[in-house]
Amino acid sequence: MFASKYVSIWNKFRRNCNGTVALMFGLTIIPLFLFAGAALDYSRLTAERARFQAALDSAALAAVNLGDKLTVDEIKKRVEEHFFAAYGVTKAGPGLKIAVTKQNSIITISGSTKVQMTVMKIAGYNTMEVGGTTSVTSGRKKIEIALVLDNTGSMGRNGKMAALKAAVNDLIDGLKKEVVHPDDVKMSIVPFNTEVRIAATYNNASWLRWDVVLENSSLGWAQRQPPSPAAWNGCLADRDQPYDISSKPAGIHVSRFVAAKCHANALAQMEPLTTDLEKVRSRAQSMAPNGYTNIAIGYTMGLATLRKDSPFGSASSDSVDTAKFMIVLTDGDNTRNRWSSNASTIDARLSAACIQARANAPDNHVKIFTIRVVAGNATLLKSCASEPTKYFDVKDASGL
C-alpha cells in the first residue's frame, strides 16, 4: 500500500510540466556560464599573445644592428629595454620572463607571461601562460639613399631652401651616428630645375651627345643650341623620348644623355652615389633656388644613381642585403622641359616615368618617397611614390 502510494506520487510529479524550463535552465546555466567565460578569457589570451609577440618582434628588429657592436650580455640588456618599452612595462616581474641567446649571427628572443583569468577562475584557472619566440640574423643591412631636391626659384620663398638644407644636415648627422663600416650608408644628391648638372669633367664620356637643339620655343635661340665640350658647364637636358622617362644607362646614340647649356645660374652639381656623406652635405649647402620645374629629369636621374649599371651609380650594390630609397622633394608644378612649357604635357612625361619605375627592375626595388612642400600636383606626386603611404604633404617650411 505504501509502495503504491509512493508510485502514484511519483507518477504525478513525472507528468507535471510546471517549472520544467526553470529546472532545465538551472541545470544548464553553470556549463553555459563556463563556456561563455572560457570564450571571453580565450579572446583575452589571443589578444595578449599577439601583443606579446609584437613586442618580441619589435625588440628583435632593434637587435638586428647590435650584433657588430655589443657583447651577448649587452645585446640582452638592449633587447629587454626595447621589449619592455614596446610591451608597456618597466621591467620583468612575476610571471614575465625574457631570454636572449646568440649563436653565430642568429639572435633568438623568447619569453612568456602570465595572464590573469576572470570567469575561468571558477574552474580553477587563476592564470594562463602566453609566450612567443622570434629570431633575426644580426648584421647591418646596408642602405643607399638618393635625394632628389627641387632647386627652382620658388624654393627661395618662405624659408624653404634654408629649411631643406637644415633637414639634409639632420639626416646626414643621424646616419653618420649609425655607421659602423664605411659602406653601411651611401648617398647621392640630385638638385634639379629644368635640368640636372653633373661634373663638367665628364665631357669626354661616351654616353653623352652634343647634337641636340632643344625644341622648347620659350627658350632663346642661343639657349637652345648645344654647347661645345670645351665650354660645357655640366648641364643635362631631357634625353630623347622614350629614354627621357628611363633611368637605364645610355646605349645607342639616341639614348645618350643630352649635353645642354645651363638655363639657370648656379644650379648645384649633383653628387653620384658615394660613402662620403660630407660630399653630399657640401652639395646640399651649395644649393641656390633658380629656374623652372621639370621633376621628371630629377626623378630619373635620382634612380640612375641607385643603379650599378649607370655612370652615376657605379658604387651601388645589387646585394639583397642593401635597401635602396629615393626621396623626391618639390614645391611646385612642372613648368618647363626640353620640349614644352605646358604643365599637362610635362606631367604626362613624369607620370610615365613613375609608372615605369614601379614596373621595371632594378628601379622597382627602390622605395620611393615623394614630398610636396606647400604647392604642387598632389595627385601626381602621390602616384610617383612607391605606395600612397610614402607620400607626404608638408604645409610649410618648418614641416621639412
pLDDT on residue 50: 82
- Domain extents for the chain? 2-137, 142-399
What does the alpha-carbon distance between residue 256 and residue 210 come to, in Å, rounded to a whole number? Answer: 10
pLDDT at 299: 95
126: exposed, middle or buried (C-beta count within 10 Å: 0-12, 13-18, 19+)? exposed
311 alpha carbon, distance to own chain's centre = 26
Strand positions, DSSP E, 252-319: 257-259, 271-274
DSSP lists the bridge partners of residue 110 as 99, 133
For 259, other C-beta atoms within 10 Å of its C-beta total: 25
What does R_g of the chain's alpha carbons equal in angstroms? Answer: 33
Residue 70 CA to residue 116 CA, distance in Å, equals 36
**pTM for the complete prediction?**
0.67
Contacts of 394 by beta carbon, 8 Å cutoff, 6+ apart = 371, 372, 373, 374, 400
Mean pLDDT by 10 residues, the chain (400 residues): 52 55 52 59 78 80 65 78 79 73 77 75 70 72 90 86 90 83 89 96 96 94 94 96 92 94 91 94 93 94 94 90 90 90 93 90 86 77 87 72
**What local confidence, expressed as pLDDT, does residue 2 receive?**
45
Q: Give the right CATH number for 142-399 from 3.40.50.300, 3.90.45.10, 3.90.226.10, 3.40.50.410.
A: 3.40.50.410
Question: Cβ(361)–Cβ(122) under 8 Å?
Answer: no
What pLDDT was estimated at residue 10?
Answer: 46
* DSSP state letter for 378: H
**Residue 123 has what pLDDT?**
65
Cell of 39: 570564450
Extract the C-alpha cell encoding 76: 640582452
